Amino acid sequence: MLSFKEHTQLEALSMQQRMKAKINFKKNKAKIMLGRKKAAKKLASPDQLKSRAQLQARKVLLNKLLKGRSKDDLSFAQKHEVEKKLAMKRNAINKIAKKLLPKVKAADRAKKKGGAGQDD
């Protein structure tokens, strides 16, 4: 059986799957919060840093595709089209993420030191 994260990477969730995930998150809320609290005290692993950089790179490309519009203003079909375009730009996302990685690392270290971090 696939985990929630693996499943969401393969395809969009149906309404029934969303409801089940909602129930599971509510049930495990205390455990999740404890885990987040512990994780906040540690430096992020290289894999976590890489995924953060990829998320930021994805946002950069998303903003270029939307041309100033908000993703919230789009219809479901338009969001689906944008997601398709982003999926095709996987190589570009990886390139941008590679360039953003030092900035992400520095922000993580600054956050752990108690500094303000870098603004994005």
| pLDDT digits 0-9 by tens, 41-99 | 888 899 999 999 999 999 999 999 998 888 888 888 998 899 999 999 999 999 999 99
Q: What is the pLDDT of residue 6?
A: 57
Under 8 Å between Cβ of 32 and 25: yes
Percent of residues, the chain, with pLDDT higher than 90: 57
Give pLDDT, residue 120.
45
| Average pLDDT of the chain, as a whole number | 86
Number of CB atoms found within 10 A of residue 79's CB = 14
* pLDDT surpassing 90 at residue 32: yes
Residues in the chain: 120
Phi, then psi, of 14 in degrees rounded to 5: -80, 170
In DSSP notation, 21-57 reads HHHHHHHTHHHHHHHHHHHHHSPPPHHHHHHHHHHHH
Residue 11 clears pLDDT 90, i.e. is over it: no
The model carries a pTM of 0.64
| Residue 112, pLDDT score | 81
CB 76 within 8 A of CB 56: no
Q: Using the predicted structure, report yes or no on whether residue 9 has a pLDDT greater than 60.
A: no
